[in-house]
Amino acid sequence: MRYLLILGILLLAACRAASPSVEPPPSALLPSPSETSTNEPAPTLTASPEPPPPAVTPAVEFTSPPATPTPENTPSPFSAGISDASAYAWRPLPVRFDRPVGIQNADDGSGRLFIVEQPGRIRVLPPGGLLAETFLDLTERVGSQGFEQGLLGLAFHPNYAETGFFYVNYTDLQGNTVISRFQVSEADANRALPDSETVLLRVQQPYSNHNGGALAFGPDGYLYLGLGDGGSGGDPQNNAQSTETLLGKILRLDVDHGDPYSIPASNPFFASGGRAEIWAMGLRNPWRFSFDRPTGDLYIGDVGQNQWEEIDYLSAEQILEGETGRAFNFGWRFYEGDHPFSGTAPQDLVLITPVAEYSHQFGCSVTGGVVYRGAELPAWQGIYLYGDFCTGLVWGLWRNPQGGWENQLLFENAGSISTFGEDERGEIYLADHNGLIFQLAGK
């Protein structure tokens, strides 16, 4: 039986009705990444010239739903101490970027943020910096004509301060996925070496959409990377449920051994039965996943088809249990969210159900987030923040003391949310695809 925390429709509707009316951002008119079935190439998003940062940037406060009575069987207000998110705001950084899709830190003690720009650049922002320098420029290698193509992911090696290695996920000029390692310059910590590229993987993409793109190192030191199901709509090749393709999967690689990597012996198909790189399957388009710093728990935002967006979750204990040889399967295309979509799953197939979902009444493309672990906002400890690209809604998801899941709509009109990220201190940021980066802060 599939179990699910379904978002409180009455609560959300009440929150939205009570919130001030806000003019939707122009980005709401962009084509939806969660499209209906089509074989046409994804629309092209044309970059406009980058305007200079404002001399003085006022704090922007996105609207937050006021506290409302909690209907029966719907999520309750934050047991973590937040009953009204209107005491907090997303404050913009004074720098504008070109279609930002990633926010990372190197965990090297520098306090820098690294912003991934979809056309093919990584820019480095020092603490308190007003200008962002170009860390790496791959625009001549990156194909970003499709809406979901481009430079899509970045992860720093856990020992980056010693190795200088970092990893990227991008689509090349033919539209295929490339996973590569680069190295920072020994002479300049704010410059990477473009000629240091070592390609780990190339994956042919049958369509221009559903490229995934997320990269993250797990608590085990392995590199995890997400790939979408290959695109079009409805997974016409059933890639997500096939063990013979890397599409529609999360892969796990040991980048500290082998040339250019080796397969962890605990990967489910290490010996036989499928592609050895596969660690989890049944994903449509995992757009951002993250490991919670202190717990090692994994959160995944998987973009839906026509009706449902979902958040998937694996505890650190589940991850360890999965190392006995069972591939985690999140259900696509048998299910969209917790709802039957296409075909019938075999009775003996174990599927991991989402811990949260929302219908397209509230958005069209989920952006997975991160768990707050900073020090400036103690009431937010342990809360997972995620949002929707199309409507700019931001939710908080957390586990209550009884072990159940609770979910609450927190902010509205936060722009075209393309990613969340955290700095070395654990403070949380989000990116509006139109160019601004915002930090969550108290008023």
Residue 107 contacts by C-beta under 8 Å, 6 or more apart in sequence?
Answer: 156, 158, 160, 161, 424
The pLDDT score that the predictor gives to residue 37 is 35
pTM of the predicted protein model:
0.85
Quick one: tokens of 133?
């320098």
Q: What percent of the chain has pLDDT over 70?
A: 81
Residue 69 has pLDDT above 50, yes or no: no
Distance CA 288, CA 420 (A): 8
Q: What are the structural domains, with CATH classification, of the chain?
A: 9-17+57-442 (2.120.10.30)
The pLDDT score that the predictor gives to residue 129 is 79
Cβ count near 115 (within 10 Å)? 26
| Three-state DSSP state, 252 | strand
Give residue for tokens 């369509």.
207
Quick one: residue 403, left, alpha or beta (phi over 0 = left, psi -120 to 50 = alpha)?
left
Exposure string of 291-324, with b = 16+ CB inside 10 Å and e = fewer, is: bbeeebbbbbbbbbbeebbbbbbbebeebeebee
Residue 31 has pLDDT above 60, yes or no: no
Is residue 178 within 8 A of residue 239, CB to CB? The reply is no
Radius of gyration of the chain (CA): 20
Cβ count near 404 (within 10 Å)? 12
Mean pLDDT of the chain: 85
CA-based diameter of the chain, in Å? 61
The pLDDT score that the predictor gives to residue 367 is 98
Give residue for tokens 């044309």.
46
Cis peptide before 333 (omega within 30 of 0): yes
Distance CA 218, CA 252 (A): 9
| Three-state DSSP state, 28 | helix
Distance CA 358, CA 300 (A): 14
Is residue 358 within 8 A of residue 7, CB to CB? The reply is yes
The pLDDT score that the predictor gives to residue 80 is 52
The pLDDT score that the predictor gives to residue 321 is 83
Cβ count near 262 (within 10 Å)? 14
Question: Residue range 341-351: average pLDDT?
Answer: 95
Question: Residue range 210-229: average pLDDT?
Answer: 97
Quick one: tokens of 203?
């994956």
The pLDDT score that the predictor gives to residue 14 is 34
Distance CA 276, CA 233 (A): 26
Confidence band of 24 (pLDDT split at 50, 70, 90): very low
Residue 229 has pLDDT above 80, yes or no: yes
56, burial (CB in 10 Å: exposed 0-12, middle 13-18, buried 19+): exposed
Distance CA 150, CA 139 (A): 9
Q: Could you tell me how many residues make up the chain? A: 443
- Tens digits of per-residue pLDDT, 369-404? 999 999 999 999 999 999 999 999 999 999 988 889
Residue 4 has pLDDT above 90, yes or no: no
| Three-state DSSP state, 239 | helix
Quick one: tokens of 332?
């696509």
Instruction: Check residues 335 and 10 and name the one with the higher pLDDT.
Output: 335
Question: Residue range 199-217: average pLDDT?
Answer: 97
Confidence band of 131 (pLDDT split at 50, 70, 90): confident
- Tens digits of per-residue pLDDT, 290-325? 999 999 999 999 999 999 999 999 999 999 887 666
